[in-house]
Amino acid sequence: MARSALLNVMVQAAFKAGKSLARDFGEVQNLQVSLKGPGDYVSQADRKAEKLIREELMKARPTYGFLGEESEEIIGTDGAHRWIVDPLDGTTNFLHGIPFFAISIALERNGEIVAGVVLNPGTDELFTAERGGGAFLNDRRLRVAARKNLSDAVIGCGIPHLGDVNHGKFLIELRHVMGEVAGVRRLGSASLDLAYVAAGRFDGFWERDLMPWDIAASVLLIREAGGYATDLDGSNAVLASGTVVAGNEYIHKALREVVQRPVPAR
């Protein structure tokens, strides 16, 4: 596959940070048995990865803005471009030595995502997309799964953290979805979960209360793989709403309807 110069910059930044995270992940696995635990170490790994990514991207395009999870936003001087970065999506997995976490890098131009990279440093799976150019896993072209019925579908989701005000709402949604589908999976990294939709591994996905860096790159992956990724109302403004429902044409529509199903009166 041919990559643009900008996408190559994003891939290089992802791999540089990925090598750092992979080294740190090995140390985290050793820290599982210590009394102190790996918490502080993971926080340092997260910040270090973002610093590496920011330096690589800003070196290549110093006038672009930068929005990252771990640092204050940098407003670009060109007024049109912004990098959107999650240096470690799946922090809880990383913290517990579970090799399912990702680096997510997106490029926004005039409010539209035009390029995206999601890298799992644990497996070296690299998901990339450019607007109008398709989505790829390493060098293989991606298409969303073709299943049309929820009863045949495996659906991914995110679960609100302990104490989240939407926990009760999620349990209602989960009960509705579980009654309609072949299976539900919660893997713990929204960017990778959505990349799995683009790759046809998951048939669909839904989650609320996400941040732009969680989903910016992966939403483009899904759309370039022939799928749909919107908020619950069907709007494409998922970065603003923080809610995403994804799948092919049929699963996306059916999943939206099930997630929004009214709670029966008692």
Alpha carbon distance 225, 247 (integer Å): 10
- Class of domain 5-141 as given by CATH: alpha beta
CB 187 within 8 A of CB 193: yes
pLDDT higher than 60, residue 256: yes
- 214 labeled part of a ligand binding site: yes
69 annotated to a ligand binding site: yes
> Residue 148 and residue 113: Cα distance in Å, rounded?
28
| 86 known ligand binder | yes
Assess if CATH 3.40.190.10 describes domain 150-259: no
Provide CATH 3.30.540.10 ranges for the chain. Answer: 5-141
Residue type for position 158: G
DSSP run (H or E) holding 204: strand 204-207
In sequence order, what are the beta bridge partners of 226? none
Give pLDDT tens digits for 72-127.
Answer: 999 999 999 999 999 999 998 988 889 999 999 999 999 999 999 999 998 999 99
pLDDT, mean of residues 228-252? 96
| Residue 89 is labelled as binding a ligand | yes
Residue 221 assigned to a binding site: no
Q: What is the pTM of this model?
A: 0.93
